[in-house]
Amino acid sequence: MTQQSTAAPASQTFGGAANLVTTTTENRRALYLKLFSGEMFKGFQRNTIARDLVTRRTLKNGRSLQFIFTGRTKSEFHIPGQSILGNSDKAPPVAEKTIQCDDLLISSAFVYELDETLAHYDLRGEISKKIGYSLAENYDRRIFRAITKAARLASPVSATNFVEPGGTQIRVGATANASDAYNSANLVAAFYDAAAALDEKGVSTEGRVGVLNPRQYYELIQAVGTNGLVNRDSQGDSLQSGNGIIEIAGIKIFKSMNIPFFKKFGTIYGTGSATNPGVTDPGNSGSFVSEAMGDQDAVTAPAGAQKTVNEYGAEAEFAHSCGLIFQKEAAGVVEAIGPQVQVTSGDVSVVYQGDVILGRLAMGADSLNPAAAVELFAGTATKPAAYA
């Protein structure tokens, strides 16, 4: 007969217990979800750049949000003895833009408890970051499409005798080759042209940014010391970081794999043509590098499901698009549900011996003030057509 030990039980430390409350399993694991949430938010924030570059509003108790436009008015001399009852042209004209919230966007994974036990690394932490990346990628792609849409539109203010400025489209280079989009001199010239156009349309200089394909961005960096046209705030390692430290004509430049780029997200590899800049494939590049754009509705909703409310355009609409320059009023974003994390627990976890980890958000994006948006295009002399 085996004799039971009379030694005192070990005083276990529960790393997931908040304030040492350990009365239940849920209490002992209270902090684990918070750790996961932090990983997801970190992944989202580090991989989305568009969220803070446009006009963003929180949507509550409704399905859409209204944005108001006011056109210009004039000044006039006062005539002695005449009552002041408003300008004779009854200005300023007013118009509105309504942006609706799309369907709920989700990214999820099921984590089997045994796999988690056997793994030699933080399984949930890795999954949470990838969920954050996925949400951020989709978020940016919709916003950049909305900005492209704005650049092709006329002003929503259309009152008689009032002509407000619309969007701007600027050709990069002057040949029939898409490779003009990678020529640093062409890009610099396009940025100065865009800055002048924004000035002429009365767009504020505050918050002007440009977003380019990564290879375009690095072409500019390589030419910083030679063309004399690119201003830079930082040198050395900071210059190589790619976090918007280059400016041209007061326009801060970012790089992203999520802008529309010749019908792709990212980079196109292959022979140069009117719709292919002709970059050599370095090999083993993966499927997401030259990911097809498709129809955004189809991307965000499977066949038979409800589709997005706002129009983001189909792949063919972006055959020659190769960069964006804009001010924060160019597009608007409404958020009904910001990035959130949900994890199953209790009976569900017992039945399935694991947890479903879910990241979610509900947002919608659309063009706002076309005058604040500039689309760069190459490989054609014809400006890309508007889409609705």
Distance CA 193, CA 349 (A): 58
Q: Is 118 left (phi over 0), alpha (psi -120 to 50) or beta?
A: alpha
| pLDDT at residue 301, as a whole number | 53
Q: Give the span between the Cα atoms of 289 and 215, in whole angstroms.
A: 12
The DSSP 8-state label assigned to residue 209 in this structure reads E
β-bridge pairing 331-343 and 354-367: antiparallel
- Predicted pLDDT of residue 129: 85
- pLDDT for 287 equals 82
The Cα–Cα gap between 65 and 4 comes to 69
Structure confidence at residue 231 (pLDDT): 60
CA separation for the pair 264, 214 (Å, rounded) = 13
Q: Return d(Cα 95, Cα 43) in angstroms, integer.
A: 38
- pLDDT digit of tens for each residue in the chain (388 aa)? 555 556 555 544 455 555 655 566 555 555 555 555 677 777 777 778 999 899 998 888 778 888 877 777 777 788 898 888 777 777 777 778 888 998 888 888 888 888 777 766 677 778 888 888 889 999 999 999 999 999 999 988 877 777 889 999 999 999 999 999 999 999 999 999 999 999 999 999 999 999 999 999 988 888 766 665 666 555 555 555 556 668 899 999 999 999 999 999 989 998 999 999 999 988 898 888 888 887 765 555 555 555 667 889 999 999 999 999 999 999 999 999 888 888 888 887 888 888 888 899 999 999 999 999 999 999 999 999 998 7
Give 86's DSSP letter: S
d(CA 248, CA 189): 9
For residue 28, the model assigns a pLDDT of 53
pLDDT, residue 245, reads: 65
**pLDDT of amino acid 286:** 84
As a dihedral over the C-alpha atoms of residue 275, residue 278, residue 283, residue 289, rounded to 10 degrees, the angle is -40
Question: To 10 degrees, what angle do helices 184-200 and 214-222 make?
Answer: 100
| Inter-residue contact 270 to 296 (CB < 8 Å) | no
For residue 375 the two structure tokens come to 């689309």
CA dihedral for 218, 180, 321, 251, sign (positive or negative): positive
All structural domains of the chain: 32-70+92-377 (3.90.1690)
Token pair in block for residue 173? 């280079």
The type of residue at 299 is: V
